Structure 1
C-alpha cells in the first residue's frame, strides 16, 4: 500500500513538472502566455526569466486574483498585448513603462486607483487602452498616444475626460460612460477619425459645436441617461451633418437587410414624452 501511494505521488509530481515544461516551451515557441482562469495570485516568475521574457508577445491572465504586477514586468520589452481583466490590481508599477512595444493594454474590472504618469507617457505605440470599471478618480495625460484607436475609461470616478484626449489623432472610439463627467471637451473636435463617442449616464448637458463640426467621422454618439435638452442639442452647430451621417449609416444597414428597432434611428439622446428636458435614461 505504502509503495503504491509513493509511486502515485511520484507519477503526479512528474506529470506536473512535465506539463510545466511543455507550457514553458510553448511560451517560448509561440510568444503567447495564456493563463486565464488559473487561480493565480501573481504572474509566474518563469515569464520574466532570461529565456522566456524576450519571447513574450501576448500575455492574458484574466479572471484571476492577481493583486499586483512585479517590477520585473519591465523585462517584457517585446510584449505587444497585455490583458488582465477581472483581477485585483490596485495600481500599476512604473516599470510597465519599459514595455514600449505594447499595442493593447486591457485592465478592465480591477480596483486600479492610480496610473503612473510615466506609463502612458512611454507607451506611445498603444492602439487600445481599456481601463473600464476600476476606481480611477483621475488619469494622467494621454496626449502622447498618437496611435491610440480605442480608449475606454467607462465605469470609474472621473470628473473629466483624460487630459490630452483631443491630441490622440488616431482615436476612433472613446467610451467614458458611467462617470461623473459634466463637460465634453471642445478639443475633441480635432479627432477627425472619431466614430464612436459614448458618454452615457454622465452629467454632460451639452455637446460643443466643435465636436459636431470637427468629428467628421462621428456616426455613433450616446448621451442616454444624461441631463441634456434634445432640442438644444439639435440646434447646436454641426448637429445636422452628424444626424445625416447617422441616417446614412443606418440607411446602408436597412438597404442591406438589417432591421430597425422600435425606437427608430438612434441619434444618441433621450427624448422625453412630455416637455423639452430630457428625462434620465433607465
Structure 2
C-alpha cells in the first residue's frame, strides 16, 4: 500500500518529469521562477529568460553550483533538478534592460556663514543677461552638465540667433513646444537626460527645417514618430541607448541622412525604406534584436561603415558587397554570420581588399596599433 501511495504521489507531483520542473533564477537581486522540461537544453532556458530579464540569450551566463552551464546540454544532464537555484550573469552590451542609469545631479558643498558649517545643496544655474547676449552673438547655447531639470526660459529668448543647443548630461525631462522658436537651430544635443515619448514635443521639434544633427542618446524613448520624416535636412541621427523597438517607415524620407546610430535598443526589424536613405555613410545597429536585414541595404552605395554586432543575424543582404562599393568597415561579431559564409557572397573579394587597405593606412598613420587584424566576424 505504501508503494502504491508513493507512485500515486509521483504521478500528481507538479515537479515530475512529465510536467516539468520549477527552478529559481537569481538575477540582479531578483528571484525568477521558471518552469521547464528537464530535457530542455540550457539554450532553451536562455530563450525563456530573455523576455523575463531583457538579456539576449548570447549575453547570458548561467552558473549552477559554481559551474558554467553549456547551451547544448540538457538540464537533466547538467544535474539541474526541481528547486535548483541558478545564477544569471549578463555580458556587458547585451543587456536590453530598462534603459541607462542616469546619475543624480551632484550636490555642491556651500558654506553657511551664520552656522559656520557645510551644507549640501543643488548647484543652481543662473542665466544672466551677459550669458544670454553671448549666446545670441555666438549662436551656441552650451548648457551641458549643469544639473538642469528643465530648460531655462532664457534659452527660448535666443530665437533665430541659436545655431547649437547642447543640453547633454542633465536631468531634463520635457522638451516643450517652445523649441520651435529656435527655427534656425542646426544641432540639437539632448543626450543623457530623462526624456520620454510623452515629454518631447515632436511636432515642434520636427518644424526645425535647418536641423542637421539630432542626438538623443541615453534617454527613455520607445518610439520615433512618423513626423521624423519632416526633418529633411537631417544629416546625423543619434538615438543609441534608448528602448526603441522599431524605426518609422518615414525614415526613408531622410535622403540627406549620412550617419544613423541606433545601437543598444530593442529593434527587431528594419523597414525596407532604409534603402531610400541614399546618403548614408555610417550605420550602427549593434546590440539590438535583429534577425535579418532588408535587401534594400544594397541601395546604399555610399555606405562605408556598417556595425551589426550583438544581434541574431544569420546572414547579410545578398547584394551588400556587390552594390556597396564604398563599404570598408563591417562588424558582425557575436552574430551567427561567419567568415566562411561571407566569403561566398559576390563582391566579397573587392570588399576584403578595401578593408585591408584601410587597415594598412591606419597602421601607416598610427591610427591603430599593430594588433592582429580584426576580420569583422567570428570564424565559426
Whole-Å Cα distance in 2 between the matches of residues 253 and 131 of structure 1? 28
Give 1:88 deviation, angstroms: 0.6
CA RMSD of aligned residues (A): 1.9
Whole-Å Cα distance in 2 between the matches of residues 57 and 128 of structure 1? 15
Aligned counterpart for 1:115 among listed residues 224, 233, 246: 224
2:151 aligned with 1:43, yes or no? Answer: yes
2:212 aligned with 1:103, yes or no? Answer: yes
Moved over 6 A (4+): none
> What's the counterpart of residue 13 of structure 1?
none
Whole-Å Cα distance in 2 between the matches of residues 245 and 217 of structure 1? 8
Preserved contact between residue 65 and residue 87 of structure 1 (Cα < 8 Å): yes
> What's the counterpart of residue 24 of structure 1?
132
Whole-Å Cα distance in 1 between the matches of residues 169 and 362 of structure 2? 36
Give 1:247 deviation, angstroms: 1.5
2:189 aligned with 1:83, yes or no? Answer: yes
**Higher mean displacement: 139-148 or 156-165:** 156-165
The structure that is strand-richer by fraction is 2
> What's the counterpart of residue 217 of structure 1?
326
Give 1:155 deviation, angstroms: 0.4
Label 1:96 to 1:256 Cα distance change in 2 as closer, same or farther (>3 A).
closer
**Higher mean displacement: 217-226 or 20-29:** 20-29
2:242 aligned with 1:134, yes or no? Answer: yes
Label 1:258 to 1:103 Cα distance change in 2 as closer, same or farther (>3 A).
closer
Give 1:229 deviation, angstroms: 2.9
2:71 aligned with 1:71, yes or no? Answer: no
Preserved contact between residue 58 and residue 82 of structure 1 (Cα < 8 Å): yes
Give 1:131 deviation, angstroms: 0.2
Whole-Å Cα distance in 2 between the matches of residues 27 and 245 of structure 1? 44
Aligned counterpart for 1:171 among listed residues 250, 268, 280: 280
Q: Which runs of 5+ in 1 are unaligned?
A: 6-15, 272-277
Corresponding pairs, count: 254
State the secondary structure of the residue aligned to 1:174: strand
What whole-Å deviation, never above 9, does each CA across 1:122-165 have from its counterpart, x for those lacking one? Answer: 11111110000001112213111111110000000100125522
Whole-Å Cα distance in 1 between the matches of residues 170 and 224 of structure 2? 20
Preserved contact between residue 161 and residue 176 of structure 1 (Cα < 8 Å): no
> What's the counterpart of residue 10 of structure 1?
none
Whole-Å Cα distance in 1 between the matches of residues 328 and 311 of structure 2? 20
Preserved contact between residue 105 and residue 128 of structure 1 (Cα < 8 Å): yes
Q: Which runs of 5+ in 2 are unaligned?
A: 1-112, 115-124
2:343 aligned with 1:237, yes or no? Answer: no
Whole-Å Cα distance in 2 between the matches of residues 261 and 110 of structure 1? 37
State the secondary structure of the residue aligned to 2:206: helix
State the secondary structure of the residue aligned to 1:98: coil
> What's the counterpart of residue 375 of structure 2?
267
Whole-Å Cα distance in 1 between the matches of residues 363 and 131 of structure 2? 48
> What's the counterpart of residue 262 of structure 2?
153
> What's the counterpart of residue 58 of structure 1?
164
Aligned counterpart for 1:33 among listed residues 126, 141, 154: 141
> What's the counterpart of residue 275 of structure 1?
none
Preserved contact between residue 246 and residue 267 of structure 1 (Cα < 8 Å): no
TM-score by length of 2: 0.64
State the secondary structure of the residue aligned to 2:260: strand
> What's the counterpart of residue 274 of structure 1?
none
2:302 aligned with 1:193, yes or no? Answer: yes
